[in-house]
Amino acid sequence: MRRHLLKRGLHNRWTLLLALILPLGVLAAQAWFAQQQREHGTAVKLPIDQFDARHLLVGHYLTYKIDYGISDDADCPASDIEAAVCLSPNARVFPWDERPASCSQYIRGNCNSEGDFITQLERFYIPEQYVQRLQQRVENQQGSLLISLDGAGNAAIRDLLIDDQPWKALVKQ
């Protein structure tokens, strides 16, 4: 009986150890994949405008609208659908399942009920110690995002550029 309890105790310890290590391993793998995508994807620069600097004071996020270069007749329909914005050869939004094979660069996202193409790229976190200095620079400036695209339509932000300078360089001035 004692041997059975000892075996069971060891089994519970291994189960507990696995339960602790497995989520950490999955989180580390996700972080590694995101870093690989940022560093090894195709770099694309997209202009941004309509900065909302008020969010910098509230949540330390700079929110903006990304200009994909899409004409009004090639924009999102006003319905909630999964979509892709084709950047090359022509800027146009397609429903995800209707994206043509000729679309060589694209970003996966969603069209919302207002007809906007939405991804996870519309806001950028600014550390609290830089908020005041960057807010002064952001207003009335030209901005762009340097993003990284993989071959599956996933995009990650490499850097936020204000007047073609990395934001970190601006806050140090």
C-alpha 32/C-alpha 164 separation (Å) is: 28
Question: What does each of the 173 residues of the chain score in pLDDT, given as a tens digit?
Answer: 555 544 555 567 778 788 888 888 888 877 777 666 666 778 899 988 777 766 665 667 788 888 888 877 667 877 788 999 999 888 889 999 889 989 888 999 998 888 888 898 988 888 877 777 776 677 666 788 999 998 888 998 999 888 888 988 877 77
Termini Cα distance of the chain: 72
- Cβ-based neighbour number of residue 162 at 10 Å: 20
Q: What is the CA radius of gyration of the chain?
A: 22
C-alpha 59/C-alpha 125 separation (Å) is: 9
